[in-house]
A and B are shown apart, each in its own frame.
Chain A
Amino acid sequence: MSTEKSRLQRVFEWHEARLPLVGFIDHAVGTKYPAPKNLNYFWNFGFLAGFMLITMILTGIFLAMNYTGNVHMAFDSVERIMRDVNFGWLIRYMHANGASFFFIVVYIHVFRGLYYGSYKSPREVLWWIGVIIMIVMMATAFMGYVLPWGQMSFWGATVITNLFSVIPVVGKMITTLLWGGFSVDNPLLNRFFALHFLLPFVILGLVFLHIWALHIPGSNNPLGIEVATGDKIPFHPYYTAKDAFGLGVFMLFYFGMVFWFPNALGDPVNYVKANPLVTPASIVPEWYLLPFYAMVRSIPNALIGVAAMFGSLIVLFFLPWLDTSRIRSATFRPIYRILFWVLLLNMFVLGWCGAQHPEGLPLILSRIGTFWYFFHMFVLLPVVGWIETPKPLPASISQPVMPAFKPAE
């Protein structure tokens, strides 16, 4: 090979010296980002979340080209997308199922953080940005679900916006402001469309902050201990290859749903046009909001119910301090590890309860589940951190597999 630089190389270097675009990417997710060498597949899910965000933005833009945000035309414009627009069915099914898969990915990503203690020092701000992203995602998904203006869209919007009416004194003012009228109607549909278009780009901006905050301390790892320089490998090609493989497996599931079970996660009632005079037999949100919906309904007092629902998300901001243990990974925390799985199971139970009528067993279970959630956060986390005896930590991430290897600092 000649050492002479090619013309292309020189043009590239000229440009990089002025705006180091490629260098920026290389530092963010390339050869210049040193990552712990023991990351398992749970570290795939941040990348998968990024992939889903891009997928949602792309399919969303093409849907918006054919969607009409008006109560008289919205439902029909969506049906037209399904029947008449070239590949409209594919784009819509990718977007609708994409929302579900986005939440699957993000929930796994968050529970990964809970298990491996990724929210602890020095990653608190990174965690906060993550929690904000999750809340904005929920708002975005809720408003997106209103757009097709089916029965579930309409009544979901009615129920959720009415949640704010329980706030003392200003509650009614807030709902009137949200509605731009005296009930859910055209003004609300219009502004939800505008906001549903905007928020994904807000999330995109937050993701940049998230990655920035990630790069200050670098990634946590399954052992949760500090990582010596000699135990790190460049993100590219090692983790780009691993992420790409994970993406392939993920897409098998995602497109499996899109092509073979596109309506399995949706509610058939939403294929009935909105009717402000008839409430469907049961109102249920999309599956990813069910645990929170169960919390709201478990409490007989409307105000406390709503406070519990929002509180269950707000409490996550305080997790780095509620958890008093300095050991990150649950691998070395015998009691916390059990509590983690109980909490996960608790979310599934709450999710199931959210889909049932709030009476009998589901009501009892959702009360226990809501109680357990807050008991876990406010009592068990601090107490267990104090009384638990952690298992001994390895000296380095290499030690458990290569006892003789001494990584460079």
Chain B
Amino acid sequence: MANTAHAAEPAGETRRDFLLHSTVAVGAVGTAMMIWPLISSMNPAADTLSLSTTEFSVAGIAEGSRIIVVWRGSPVFVAHRTAAEIDAARKVNVSELRDQEKDEIRVQKPEFLIVSGVCTHLGCIPLGTKGTDPKGDFGGWFCPCHGSQYDTSGRIRLGPAPKNLAVPPYKFTGDTVLIG
């Protein structure tokens, strides 16, 4: 190959260093700016986000029964609680719970519990909505996957799940509920 060695360069930063570093810097920023839209395109699209509210009425839910509504593609439990169920939820000594929350802050109207239907362990849907379902020792929900048990406030009481069933953001307008 041709003699490519060049005369001894002056010590310290040279013009060549400057050009190299600025080129690499611009190239790196440019590449990052290209990766960002590509990754971003994998996040929920506008039409997916527009599906992110759900509206339903609690008028038809008899006392003591439960329904499931779908919000963002996942189930939400809606329970019309009996006085006994409310009482059971409120009697519990909060300091004994794994995820310490009072029933009062988990509901807007005591007779309607609205919680996410996704087990906080690994995402299965706990049983307990249908009358024939097992409800666990605490009268709430029982997860068939690894046996987590939730009480009548949707709080974790037994089994591997770390957290209570989450309360989604919702608003009552008369009997109508808007989730999301």
Shortest CB-to-CB span from B8 to chain A, Å, is: 15
Contacts of B48 in A (CB 8 A): 84
Shortest CB-to-CB span from B46 to chain A, Å, is: 4
Please state if B37 and A86 are interface contacts (CB–CB under 8 Å). Answer: yes
Confirm or deny: B4 has a beta carbon within 8 angstroms of a beta carbon on chain A.
yes
Confirm or deny: A88 has a beta carbon within 8 angstroms of a beta carbon on chain B.
yes
Please state if B38 and A58 are interface contacts (CB–CB under 8 Å). Answer: yes
Quick one: which of B2, B46, B47 has the most chain A CB within 10 A? B2
Shortest CB-to-CB span from A78 to chain B, Å, is: 13
Residue on A nearest B3 in the bound complex, by CB: A230
Contacts of A34 in B (CB 8 A): 1
Contacts of A407 in B (CB 8 A): 2
Confirm or deny: B14 has a beta carbon within 8 angstroms of a beta carbon on chain A.
no
Please state if B1 and A87 are interface contacts (CB–CB under 8 Å). Answer: no
What's the Cα separation between A34 and B48 when bound, in Å? Answer: 54
Shortest CB-to-CB span from A268 to chain B, Å, is: 24
Contacts of B37 in A (CB 8 A): 86-87, 90-91
Please state if A62 and B1 are interface contacts (CB–CB under 8 Å). Answer: no
Shortest CB-to-CB span from B49 to chain A, Å, is: 9
**CB-contact partner of B41 in A66, A232, A233, A238, under 8 A:** A66
What's the Cα separation between A88 and B41 when bound, in Å? Answer: 6
Confirm or deny: A282 has a beta carbon within 8 angstroms of a beta carbon on chain B.
no
Please state if A86 and B43 are interface contacts (CB–CB under 8 Å). Answer: yes
Shortest CB-to-CB span from A409 to chain B, Å, is: 12
Please state if A65 and B42 are interface contacts (CB–CB under 8 Å). Answer: yes
Shortest CB-to-CB span from B32 to chain A, Å, is: 14
**CB-contact partner of A234 in B1, B40, B42, under 8 A:** B1
Residue on A nearest B44 in the bound complex, by CB: A86
Confirm or deny: B45 has a beta carbon within 8 angstroms of a beta carbon on chain A.
yes
User: Do A234 and B4 form a contact, CB below 8 Å, given A58-B38, A91-B38?
Assistant: yes
What's the Cα separation between A84 and B4 when bound, in Å? Answer: 54
User: Do A86 and B23 form a contact, CB below 8 Å, given A34-B1, A232-B2, A233-B4?
Assistant: no
Contacts of B40 in A (CB 8 A): 86-87
Contacts of B38 in A (CB 8 A): 58-59, 62, 87, 91
Contacts of A90 in B (CB 8 A): 37
Please state if B45 and A85 are interface contacts (CB–CB under 8 Å). Answer: yes
Shortest CB-to-CB span from A408 to chain B, Å, is: 8
Please state if A84 and B2 are interface contacts (CB–CB under 8 Å). Answer: no
What's the Cα separation between A229 and B1 when bound, in Å? Answer: 5
Shortest CB-to-CB span from B77 to chain A, Å, is: 30
User: Do A83 and B46 form a contact, CB below 8 Å, given A58-B38, A88-B41?
Assistant: yes
Contacts of B45 in A (CB 8 A): 66, 80, 84-86, 88
Using a CB–CB cutoff of 8 Å, the interface residues on chain B facing chain A are 1-2, 4, 23, 27, 37-38, 40-43, 45-48
Subset of 11 A-B contacts with CB under 8 Å: A62-B42, A80-B47, A84-B48, A85-B41, A86-B37, A86-B43, A86-B45, A87-B37, A87-B40, A88-B41, A244-B27
- 4 more A-B residue pairs beyond the given contacts A86-B46, A91-B37, A229-B1, with a C-beta to C-beta distance below 8 A: A65-B42, A80-B47, A85-B45, A231-B2
